[in-house]
Amino acid sequence: MILRPGEIARPRWDGFVRSFEQSVTTRLLLFVLGAVDVAPNQRRALTRAIGERRVAAVVDSMVGRGLVTALGWSGVSIESFPISAVREAIGALDPESDGEPIELCLDRAVRLIERADSSGVLRDRLARLSGPLA
């Protein structure tokens, strides 16, 4: 999941939360980029939707770290990583316990980033900070 700067429109946020509520995944890699504006009611909805899932959050701002801290205070099992540590964030989710090598998960993350970031800005930024991602 990628959260970008600014306010997230309610219909989009509600659909996003619903998709989590219906998901069977047990782990989540979350990118929080810039000053994401998440209202308290949105944060509560996200906390409920995440439930017992483990979350690794890759953040690049104080606002992002604040959101991660608030989710942790709400009971979410979440660990924060700087944007330069995407590989470590994936490793913290322990995908190898399901027989998935970290490199395969990293490749999936890169493909998701490419789809969500058609301008290439995020991919370029990550590559500068953590070396080639793919």
Query: Distance (Å, rounded) from C-alpha 124 to C-alpha 119?
Result: 10
104-118 confidence digits (pLDDT tens): 777 777 777 777 666
Q: pTM to 2 decimals?
A: 0.77
pLDDT number for residue 134: 44
pLDDT number for residue 47: 92
pLDDT number for residue 87: 84
Q: Which two tokens stand for residue 111?
A: 């493909």
Residue 61: enclosing H or E segment and its boundaries?
A: none
More confident residue, 121 or 59: 59
| CATH level 3 topology of 2-130 | Rossmann fold (3.40.50)
The 10 Å Cβ neighbour count of residue 31 is 25
pLDDT number for residue 122: 64
